[in-house]
């Protein structure tokens, strides 16, 4: 085997291993942080029992779920029932393959890009992969043979398809300004001025659509516990339930990383190392999700769909039109 090819494969494997494990650590940290931050916002203490200030609570919860009985309903479609949690979690993780989290670094004479792979259609890859998560949710609802699960899955698929449209359109303005579909080019184009300044309307549309896309409050209609028990994962237990839980946080991290890449300058920032800047911006976006959840009540389903189709969609098309006009005027 060619020596250069072998080195490339080793570097790629190391990057995949590191990124995957960092995401897992972030998911565990997010579960604890969300509970603590929401508790303090509501003048409570949150988890305090397991470890100092409840730091080990997510690990204790994980161990508990690991040893829980794995129940498959008698009349469920067993194969689809088992595949659904994986179909939801895996797309959220593999989206990170094209997200750059730092500038080039040099190790043992080799220039290494801090991105698993920089493809020239990274923008299209993100939306092609992230849309696969809908299939897992629909499979979970249908395979459970439960009316509440099916209703949750139908709601979720309608919501995610509706808001994925505006999510994609909100980023078109950035792609027009950058003139590239590569995420590394998008970040490099923001070395002087972040896209949030050039595309404030696009950022507002993206932030709103991202919350709806990952089924978070106030758009958490698919798992509205007051109406649908637990939505599409009502019948799930043990590690299958944990995988749905992990997928929600993995999706939050993914959409936050995309926001940092497209609007907040990616790894660019003064003094601190590029990777640190990327992680700090990512942390701010994740805090925004928790803040929104603590602040707003849940919308009605008709309000959710009307807001997406009658307000956000025309607004995103208007943003593309204005961006195009400004580019033509500037020449």
- End-to-end C-alpha distance for the chain, whole angstroms: 50
pLDDT band at 76 (very low <50, low <70, confident <90, very high): confident
DSSP 108-177: TTEEE-SSS---TTHHHHHHHHHTTHHHHHHHHHHHTT-HHHHHHHHHHHHHHHHHHHHHHHHHHHHHHH
Q: Is residue 166 included in any domain, yes or no?
A: yes
Angstrom distances, CA of residue 189 to CA of 195, 209, 317? 9, 24, 23
Q: Is residue 321 included in any domain, yes or no?
A: yes
Q: Is residue 50 included in any domain, yes or no?
A: no
Q: Is residue 38 included in any domain, yes or no?
A: no
Number of domains in the chain: 1
pLDDT of residue 244: 85
pLDDT band at 227 (very low <50, low <70, confident <90, very high): low
pLDDT > 70: percent of the chain: 97
CB-CB neighbours of 9 under 10 Å: 11
Q: Is residue 139 included in any domain, yes or no?
A: yes
pLDDT band at 230 (very low <50, low <70, confident <90, very high): low
- pLDDT tens-digit profile of 77-108? 888 888 888 888 899 888 888 898 888 777 77
C-alpha span between 261 and 266 (Å, rounded):
4
Q: Is residue 232 included in any domain, yes or no?
A: yes
Domain residues for the domain of 90 are: 76-102+116-330
Nearest to 232 by CA among 250, 220, 219: 220
Q: Encoding tokens for residue 52? A: 């100092």
Q: Is residue 158 included in any domain, yes or no?
A: yes
């Amino acid at each position: 085997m060619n020596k250069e090819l072998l080195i490339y494969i080793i570097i790629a494997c190391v990057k995949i291993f590191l990124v995957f494990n960092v995401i897992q650590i972030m998911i565990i940290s997010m579960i604890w942080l969300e509970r603590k931050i929401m508790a303090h916002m509501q003048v409570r203490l949150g988890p305090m029992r397991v470890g100092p200030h409840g730091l080990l609570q997510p690990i204790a919860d994980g161990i508990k779920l690991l040893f829980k009985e794995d129940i498959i309903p008698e009349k469920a479609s067993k194969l689809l029932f088992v595949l659904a949690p994986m179909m939801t979690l895996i797309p959220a993780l593999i989206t990170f393959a094209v997200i750059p989290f730092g500038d080039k670094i040099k190790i043992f004479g080799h220039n290494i890009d801090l991105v698993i792979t920089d493809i020239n259609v990274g923008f299209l890859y993100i939306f092609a992969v992230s849309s696969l998560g809908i299939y897992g949710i629909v499979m979970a609802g249908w395979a459970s043979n439960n009316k509440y699960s099916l209703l949750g899955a139908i709601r979720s698929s309608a919501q995610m398809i509706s808001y994925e449209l505006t999510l994609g359109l909100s980023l078109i303005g950035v792609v027009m300004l950058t003139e590239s579909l590569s995420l590394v080019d998008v970040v490099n184009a923001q070395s002087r001025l972040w896209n949030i300044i050039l595309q404030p309307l696009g950022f507002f549309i993206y932030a709103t659509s991202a919350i709806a896309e990952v089924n978070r409050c106030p758009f958490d209609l698919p798992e509205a516990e007051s109406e649908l028990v637990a939505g599409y994962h009502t019948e799930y237990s043990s590690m299958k339930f944990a995988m749905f839980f992990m997928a929600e946080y993995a999706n939050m991290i993914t959409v936050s990383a995309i926001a940092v890449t497209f609007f907040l300058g990616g790894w660019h920032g003064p003094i601190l190392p590029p990777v640190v800047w990327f992680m700090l911006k990512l942390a701010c976006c994740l805090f925004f999700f928790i803040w929104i959840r603590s602040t707003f009540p849940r919308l009605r389903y008709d309000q959710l769909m009307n807001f997406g189709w009658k307000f956000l969609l025309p607004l995103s098309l208007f943003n593309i039109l204005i961006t195009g006009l400004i580019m033509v005027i500037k020449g």
